[in-house]
Amino acid sequence: MAKSPTKGTSGRGQRDLRVKVKTAKGRKLSSTRWLERQLNDPYVARARREGFRGRAAFKILELDDRFRFLVPGARVVDLGCAPGGWLQVAVDRVNALGAKQGKKIGRLLGIDLQEVEPL
């Protein structure tokens, strides 16, 4: 009896293609390792696919799904908001643009020392 092909060690059924980063002149080993982790992070890839500015958007989504603190009509102040991933989530959840008819409209204020692109 022939052995069926296995899915691999990850159990996801897909090949895990890892990006290898070559060390560049002047780049420290710690920077190379950080870049490799960043390029291989599934949340970074998912954030890029879903149009979020950063992987931190998934953290606020998970927290809000659990504790329900971003409700329509809420007022939100995001201190240290760059690059703006949390604000992207909050705009939708507090109905800041008035997209949800019949729901209260919330307000957002994002503050950071770095420049943040408008939403």
pLDDT for the residue 25? 78
Residue 108 has pLDDT above 90, yes or no: yes
Average pLDDT, the chain: 87
For 65-100, write each residue's pLDDT tens digit: 999 999 999 999 999 999 999 999 999 999 999 999
Domain ranges across the chain? 29-111
* Segment 31-43 mean pLDDT: 90
* Segment 40-65 mean pLDDT: 94
Collect contacts of 66-74 with beta carbons under 8 A, ≥24 apart: 70/94, 71/106, 72/100, 72/103, 72/104, 72/105, 72/106, 73/103, 73/104, 73/105, 73/106, 74/106
pTM of the model: 0.72
Q: What CATH number does the domain located at 29-111 have? A: 3.40.50.150
